[in-house]
Structure 1
Amino acid sequence: MTSEENSRILLLGATGYTGGLVLAALLRRGARPVLAGRNAAALAALAGRHGGLDHVVVDATRPASLRRHLRRGDVLVTTVGPFERLGYPVAEAAAEAGAHYIDSTGEVGFVRAVHDRYDERARETGAVMLPAFGYDYVPGILAGTLAARQAGAAVRALDIGYFATGPLWRGISQGTRTTMRDGLTLPSPTWRGHRLVEERTASRVHTFSLGGRRKSAFLVSGTEVLFLPSDFPALADITVYNGWFPTLSRPLTLISSAVNTLTGLPGGHRLADALTFPLTLGPAGGPDATERARTRSYVVAVASTGAPGGAPLAEVHLEGPSAYSLTGELMAWAAESLVGRSKGAAGVVGPVEAFGLETLQAACAEMGLAAV
């Protein structure tokens, strides 16, 4: 047998919401992943519902427990977060085993740490490591790459905005709402003056033009600031914004300022939690297929010279399925593409370096994420 025929996809977190979407996408592609997790009964039941998939019980907090089930050329897909708390042993196991790695994190600090800790080892073992390979942040990296290429040698700055359409508050998961609330107290890395700088989340608001309408978005973190500078050395500034709720962008700058002030005071965390609690209100779990069909993702990248008031050099607008549906499809496609792979880029890399721009763009278009 070839190495590809021997290699497997291991899915960690299949019993959860995002993991279930990845599993469904893998099955639609004809893949038969091995389900991994700590709950033997839940794994067995899920495996049985899908024609008797193989499944293994692992302790994701212990790299040795995972490594027993990993071989070089395997693909380890994980949706188990929060990644700052639970993700490092999983990434370590993949890097040591030479198994390719894909995760669904939106935590940019975690991605930076994964690179610092495991990039060198992954290059030695031939592992391709793709953190944050979902709606966070593949669409922005794709749009930013296309915009920077269109802008040419004059490009110095990229502003990237994430938007959505439809009844969004009911169309996002409880986990996303909680992550958004918690993110207000975490710094957002930006690429400023050719170096990484941490700014207060929601400390700035930027306005984008979408379909002839102006929509506001607030400053957030994104792995665009980690992966795009190496592809475009002339870029001095890269900033990522979230415009899911345009009318809340400016109020959130005030809330962010208040929350960050409170957390620096004795007992301030409790007050900050109370102030931001309304942001977590909404349906439990995640949106079902009907709700996901009612929302669309939209990402825009604007390339410019960086001069105040200057006209854009290029703009790229991408529209696609719900953020959750898109994440499931992206992770499944990447897993299927990497299984058994022994050549090409290795280490902690971005989506363009891993697959090439044309391949990535074509795959996204097949998923419904395309230029508008």
Structure 2
Amino acid sequence: MNSRILLLGATGYTGGLVLDALLRRGVRPTLAGRNAAALTELASRNGGLDHVVVDATNSGDLRRHLGRGDVLVTTVGPFERLGHAVAEAAAETGAHYIDSTGEVGFVRTVRDRYGRRARETGAVMLPAFGYDYVPGMLAGTLAARQAGDAVRTLDIGYFATGPLWRGISHGTRTTMRDGLTLPSPTWHEHRPTEERTASRVREFAVQGRRKSAFLVSGTEVLFLPDDFPALTDITVYNGWFPALSRPLSLISAAVNTLVRLPGGRPLTDLLTLPLTFGPPGGPDTTERARTRSYVVAVASTGAPGAPPLAEVHLEGPSAYSLTGELMAWAAVRLASGAGRAAGVVGPVEAFGLDVLRDACGEMGLGPVG
């Protein structure tokens, strides 16, 4: 490995998982953040890692610590508020970039705003390179390829097993709450569009049972149309809590109406506050071991009542454990010069389907059965 890996956000929950995964691979990243004391303590606890104090909202400050071919890994969110300067710094310096966002609107902006510059400088930029949304990209690609030329629609569902509510981080609960009032991008009739989050509910086959999931955002709708031009429709769903899918659809309709009324935002925040209840931080090693991630991709012709052309099921570790492993793996690959395409790209374009599938298998994410 010839390039430096700069990890921004290592003192946070997700950043700590990425750091652990890098150290297990024998890689010693440079830690970066704004809290000098916390950085010093973390660096010392892990054998004296290099560390630098930076302001994540200041692109110039970040650029001073980056060179062409370095890898900038960031877990600092909310990304719509704190992520733009980080992405700009990578694109301008030619440093490769990986983030943990689940905010598809942010990914879309990064692609539109920095994609061209990243191609010019040689930066491989991989937003949302974790549980959000690498498993769905992999399953969707496999399903679309199996379906062949007849494929027109792709539905992707994210599920989990185990005592999930205790196994969700505070950040995830907050993101889920905020997402109810944000539109979800979809790909419909060969065009990008937006729908109300949870405006649709769909059932998927999961471990021999039918489970409901509600419509959400997903970067699959941004990247897969380029790989499969025949696709007319791509929709992503979340089924973490199948029994709540239809109630959440009703809640989404109510809060989206309420938030547009004068004074509606404070009331909306109050009504959705229970969605954030739970312990601070995130699940520890024991809790993560009790939950598993499960992703389904269904490819079809789109004709009403027609059976699926292909259906791919992937199962793997906890969403958080998987995110840490995926980001660490990608950082090491990019630092060694293994990225295949500069610009803001998806995981398959960046590394190739076979390499990505094999790597996910080594992390425990693979076909069911």
Q: 1:344 aligns with which of 337, 340, 343?
A: 340
Q: Is the 8 A contact 1:126 1:342 kept in 2?
A: no
Counterpart for residue 166 of structure 1:
162
Contact 1:177/1:279 (<8 A) preserved: yes
SS at match of 1:81: coil
Unaligned runs of 5+ in 1: none
Q: Is residue 216 of structure 2 the alignment partner of residue 220 of structure 1? A: yes
Matched, 1:310 2:306: yes
> Which one of 17, 22, 25 corresponds to residue 26 of structure 1?
22
| Contact kept in structure 1, 2:66 and 2:93, CA below 8 Å | yes
Q: TM-score, normalised by structure 2?
A: 0.99
In the other structure, the counterpart of 2:178 is 182
**1:211, CA displacement in angstroms?**
2.1
Please name the residue that 2:361 is paired with.
Answer: 365
Aligned counterpart, 1:98:
94
Q: 3-state SS of the aligned residue for 1:69?
A: coil
Name the amino acid aligned to 1:146.
L
Q: Which residue is equivalent to 2:142?
A: 146
1:250 is matched with 246
- Report the alpha carbon displacement of residue 271 of structure 1 after superposing the two structures with TM: 1.3
**2:319 maps to 1:323:** yes
Question: Aligned partners of 2:59 and 2:185: how far apart in 1?
Answer: 29
Letter in 2 for 1:180: M
Distance apart, 1:133 and its partner CA:
0.1
SS in 2 for 1:303: strand
Does the CA-based 8 Å contact 1:73-1:342 persist in structure 2?
A: no
* 1:104-115 mapped onto 2 (5 Å cutoff): 104-115=100-111
Deviation at 1:283, TM superposition (A): 1.0
1:277 and 1:64 mapped to 2: Cα distance? 37
**1:277 maps to what in 2?**
273
Deviation at 1:125, TM superposition (A): 0.3
Letter matched to residue 240 of structure 1: V
Amino acid at match of 1:28: R
Cα distance in 2 between the residues matched to 1:132 and 1:174: 18
Matched, 1:118 2:114: yes
Which residue, 294, 304, 326 being the options, matches 1:298? 294
- Could you tell me whether the CA contact under 8 Å between 2:293 and 2:317 is conserved in 1? yes
Q: Distance in 1 between matches of 2:18 and 2:82?
A: 19
Name the amino acid aligned to 1:227. Answer: F
- Give how far 1:340 is off: 4.2
Mapped pair 1:63 → 2:48? no
Residues 130 and 324 of structure 2 are in contact (CA less than 8 Å); yes or no, is this contact kept in structure 1? yes
Alignment correspondent of 1:268: 264
Q: 1: CA distance between counterparts of 2:176 and 2:7?
A: 25
Give aligned pairs, total.
368
Q: 2:76 aligns with which of 57, 80, 83?
A: 80
C-alpha contact 1:174 1:280 (8 A) present in aligned 2: yes
Distance 1:342 1:135, change over 3 A: closer
Identity rate, percent: 82
Q: Deviations over 1:161-185 (max 9, x none)?
A: 0000000000000110010000000
Where does residue 11 of structure 1 map in the other structure? 7
Distance 1:344 1:154 in 2: 28
1:344 Cα offset (Å):
2.7
SS in structure 2 at match of 1:264: coil
Shift in Å at residue 342 of structure 1?
7.5
Structure 2: where are the runs of 5+ without partners? none
CA shift for structure 1 position 191? 0.3
Q: Calculate the TM-score normalised by the size of structure 1.
A: 0.98
CA contact (8 A) 2:100 2:128 kept: yes
CA offset at residue 309 of structure 1? Answer: 1.3
Deviation at 1:96, TM superposition (A): 0.5
Equivalent-residue separation in structure 2 for 1:160 and 1:343 (angstroms): 26
